[in-house]
Amino acid sequence: MATTATDTSAYTHDHGNAHVDDRPFIRKYIFSTDHKIIGIQFLIMSLTFLLLGGTLAMVMRWQLGFPGKPLPGGTLLPETYTNNGVVLPEFYNSAVTMHGTFMVFFAIMPLLVGVFGNYLIPLKIGAPDMAFPRINMASFWTAVPAGLLMLAGFFVEGGSAAAGWTSYAPLSARSDLTGVHLGQIFWCLSLIILGLSSIMGSFNYITTVINMRAPGMNWFRLPLSIWALFVTACLVLLAIPVLSGAAILLLFDQTIGTHFFDPQAGGQPLLWQHLFWFFGHPEVYILILPAMGMASDIIANGARKPIFGYTSMVLAIISIGFLGWGVWGHHMFQSGMNPTLGTTFMISTLLIAVPSAIKTFNWLGTIWQGNITFHVPMLHALAFVSMFVIGGLSGVFMAASPFDIYIHDTYFIVAHLHYVLFGGSLFAIFAAVTYWYPKMFGRMMNPFWGRVHFWLTLVFYNFTFFPMHQLGLHGHMRRIYDPTQYAFLREMQPVNQFISISAFCLFATQFLFAANFILSWFKGEKAPNNPWLDNGLEWTLPSPPPHGNFATVPTVYRGPYEYSSPHSDLDYIPQNVPTPGGAGAAHPQPAGD
């Protein structure tokens, strides 16, 4: 590795000890305004919630695969959760709700936006930090109490929220219907607080990207990850306040006796759905766009080839950002809204498939005639493409409104959304974490265990979620505690059991990642500045980069995807290198290969 470090320094300026960082520990690591520390804080927080959400999923899978059998360790839980170890419907509904809530709001969204938005934006655009570092810090320290409040629901009388992560009113508004009072209030409060955090983060990102790009980093030299995070930040900025507004109305219904969503006093249950999904569909793209962006960076790097169709990739991101606002009704085809709207939403929904398809074809174009290095992040990024294709194509089924009549609220939807959120977002997150881990922590993750984790995850992931399509096609409803109550589902029980066992294996596999993550932090191989031979500005810095990032403001001469350029002997040219040249260096080998 020592030779690699020398080789990769070909393009790296030696910063020496330009920054003497003498901040006390608490300012450096706890209440830090450094975007890199905040990114890592978000990483730790959201991985914790990812684990929690996964654990709840295991509870659900146990009950679905083996209904009525005592949950292993279930007797340790309070009697309001389990009866002799058997999961109670209360707990199941809580698990359904909190799994969704944790995963969407406290795991995937902060992982993509909180972690990589924070970590990558200033580094990749050549800025010393965010535009508003203190607001950035406040953003993290607002997200933490929001998460704790959401978690607190499990420890209060009545248990946590149990009306689904979509919290459809009036079920969520009337505590007598669920038996959950405080938990439901906590859900609203927590999301309102988290909304503040997201808004603080997003206007920070937008300002930073617009105003703080290094000289020469014009809009069409931005890496696609930054484009995606920028558009995502715009979506967060505009969508989250709608959720906050809706959650506030719901909170008032629960607490001070208003009746926004309760038809008994003139309220409108569908109003909640409209508000929620008006936020909710942009949210879906919030959860996938950054994944697409980061996967693009990694795929171009792994293929050692410029990204195919950079401009059309950018246009696709932007058009998803726009079209995403006009499709929320497809979540409500069966809700009783005016059926004429159904046709409109069907067409707009089908059209939003186009930019996603463009991106997929461009990724294929990128690896075509490449010189593909299969490092661990690349494996995850390729899995992202391959799984996202399945998730995207299964979306066409439910976009066609007549067929959605049949599969709406069935396991087909569960399969679809997990192919997008797990197969899409989470594989991209694995890719991104392994890719930028050396930059974050100055150490490499173990590539062997990385590969083991990747392959096991890919296999068990497909074993878990692919058969859910079949369950859905058979009419298996979502969110039911015990499918064997229905004769037509009893014959599908072997599939449910197979899914459950695969899910347990999938969950267990993730501990490989956790162990690799934690152990590498302390014992991993020291990372060179540019282990993947990437062109991005962050790779010109030491690993980890010092506080304030760049000793001298870098100047950007070209886009981020100049791999295998004929103007260079090497197969990459960092964005800040004025004249291409080999500097006599041999072809360095990417790490982990």
Partner 1 sequence: MRRMMLGAAVLAVGVWGCGGSKGNASNGAAGNSTSAVAQSGGSTGPTGNAAVSGVIHFTGAAPSNPKIDMSQESACQGKYKTPPTDPQYVVKDAKLGNVFVYVDSGLPNGAKYTASAPTQIDQDGCLYHPRVFGAVVGQDIVIKNDDNVLHNIKAVPKVNRGFNISQPSAGMTSKRSFSEPEVMVPLECNVHGWMHAYVGVLTHPFFATSDSTGSFSIKNLPAGTYTIKAWHEKLGTQQQTVTVGAGETKNIDFTFSGPKA
Partner 2 sequence: MDKLLSWMLPPGASTFVGDIDWIYYLILAVTGIAFVLVEVALIVFLIRYRKRPGRKATYIHGSNRAEIIWTSVTAVVVVIIGILSAPAWNKIKGREGVPPNAMPIGIEAKQFEWNVTYPGPDGKLGTADDFTIRGQLHVPVDRPTVAMLTSQDAIHSFFVPSFRIKQDAVPGMHIRVWFQPTKVGEYELGCAELCGLGHYRMRAVVTVHTQQDYDRWVASQAHSVAQR
Partner 3 sequence: MAHAAAMHDDVMLPPSSRAAGAGVYNEKLGMWIFLGSEVMFFTALIGTYVILRFAHPDAWIGHPRTTPLNIPVTAVNTFLLICSSVTMVKAFAAAQDGIQRSLRLWLLATAMIGATFVGVQVYEYTHLIEKGFVPSEGLFGSTFYTMTGFHGFHVTIGVLCMTYVTIKAFRGKYSQTDHRGVEVIGLYWHFVDLVWIILFTIVYLI
- Residues near partner 1 (CB under 8 A) are 68, 79-80, 83-84, 86, 88-90, 157-158, 175-179, 181, 481-482, 487, 490
Q: Cα–chain-centroid distance for residue 482?
A: 30
Tokens of 186: 């906590």
Please choose which of partner 1, partner 3, partner 2, none residue 408 contacts, taking the beta carbon within 5 to 8 angstroms, the exact cut-off set by kind. partner 2
Please choose which of partner 2, partner 1, partner 3, none residue 455 contacts, taking the beta carbon within 5 to 8 angstroms, the exact cut-off set by kind. none
Please choose which of partner 2, partner 1, partner 3, none residue 213 contacts, taking the beta carbon within 5 to 8 angstroms, the exact cut-off set by kind. partner 3
Closer residue to partner 1, CB minimum distance, 171 or 289: 171
Closer residue to partner 1, CB minimum distance, 262 or 525: 262
Minimum distance from residue 297 beta carbon to partner 3 (Å): 20
Closer residue to partner 1, CB minimum distance, 20 or 256: 256
Minimum distance from residue 165 beta carbon to partner 3 (Å): 19
Minimum distance from residue 116 beta carbon to partner 2 (Å): 24
Q: Cα–chain-centroid distance for residue 433?
A: 11
Q: Is residue 467 reached through a cis peptide bond, with omega within 30 degrees of 0 on the bond before it?
A: no
Please choose which of partner 1, partner 2, partner 3, none residue 583 contacts, taking the beta carbon within 5 to 8 angstroms, the exact cut-off set by kind. none
User: What one-character DSSP code corresponds to residue 78?
Assistant: -
In angstroms, the CA 526 to CA 198 distance is: 34
Minimum distance from residue 119 beta carbon to partner 2 (Å): 27
Please choose which of partner 1, partner 3, partner 2, none residue 550 contacts, taking the beta carbon within 5 to 8 angstroms, the exact cut-off set by kind. partner 3
In angstroms, the CA 590 to CA 371 distance is: 12
Phi, psi of 382 (to 5 degrees): -70, -40
Neighbours of 487 (CB within 10 A): 7
Inter-residue contact 78 to 163 (CB < 8 Å) = no
Please choose which of partner 1, partner 3, partner 2, none residue 490 contacts, taking the beta carbon within 5 to 8 angstroms, the exact cut-off set by kind. partner 1
Amino acid 234 reads C
Closer residue to partner 2, CB minimum distance, 64 or 432: 64
Inter-residue contact 426 to 509 (CB < 8 Å) = no
Q: Which residues bind partner 3 (CB under 8 A)?
A: 19, 128-129, 131-133, 199, 202-204, 206-207, 210-218, 237-242, 244-246, 248-249, 252, 256-260, 265-268, 271, 274-275, 278, 548, 550-557, 578
Closer residue to partner 2, CB minimum distance, 357 or 514: 357
In angstroms, the CA 279 to CA 76 distance is: 38
Closer residue to partner 1, CB minimum distance, 22 or 176: 176
Closer residue to partner 3, CB minimum distance, 74 or 122: 122
Give the side-chain half-sphere CA count within 13 A for 164.
Answer: 14
In the block, which residue shows the tokens 């979509």? 166
Closer residue to partner 1, CB minimum distance, 482 or 569: 482
In angstroms, the CA 525 to CA 546 distance is: 19
Minimum distance from residue 92 beta carbon to partner 1 (Å): 10
157: left (phi over 0), alpha (psi -120 to 50) or beta: beta
In angstroms, the CA 449 to CA 376 distance is: 10
Closer residue to partner 2, CB minimum distance, 338 or 579: 338
Phi, psi of 160 (to 5 degrees): -80, 175
Minimum distance from residue 386 beta carbon to partner 2 (Å): 6
Closer residue to partner 1, CB minimum distance, 86 or 440: 86
Please choose which of partner 2, partner 1, partner 3, none residue 306 contacts, taking the beta carbon within 5 to 8 angstroms, the exact cut-off set by kind. partner 2
Please choose which of partner 1, partner 2, partner 3, none residue 202 contacts, taking the beta carbon within 5 to 8 angstroms, the exact cut-off set by kind. partner 3
Minimum distance from residue 548 beta carbon to partner 3 (Å): 5
Minimum distance from residue 409 beta carbon to partner 2 (Å): 4
Please choose which of partner 3, partner 2, partner 1, none residue 158 contacts, taking the beta carbon within 5 to 8 angstroms, the exact cut-off set by kind. partner 1
Please choose which of partner 2, partner 1, partner 3, none residue 244 contacts, taking the beta carbon within 5 to 8 angstroms, the exact cut-off set by kind. partner 3
Please choose which of partner 3, partner 1, partner 2, none residue 405 contacts, taking the beta carbon within 5 to 8 angstroms, the exact cut-off set by kind. partner 2
In angstroms, the CA 188 to CA 169 distance is: 12
Minimum distance from residue 82 beta carbon to partner 1 (Å): 10
252: left (phi over 0), alpha (psi -120 to 50) or beta: alpha
Neighbours of 89 (CB within 10 A): 12
Minimum distance from residue 248 beta carbon to partner 3 (Å): 7
Phi, psi of 85 (to 5 degrees): 90, -15
Closer residue to partner 1, CB minimum distance, 177 or 583: 177
Closer residue to partner 3, CB minimum distance, 262 or 571: 262
Neighbouring residues of 337: CB distance < 8 A, sequence distance ≥ 6: 270, 274, 329
In angstroms, the CA 26 to CA 22 distance is: 11
Length of the chain: 593
Neighbouring residues of 473: CB distance < 8 A, sequence distance ≥ 6: 407, 410, 412
Inter-residue contact 592 to 447 (CB < 8 Å) = yes
Inter-residue contact 324 to 278 (CB < 8 Å) = no
Q: Cα–chain-centroid distance for residue 159?
A: 27
Minimum distance from residue 482 beta carbon to partner 1 (Å): 7
Minimum distance from residue 412 beta carbon to partner 3 (Å): 31
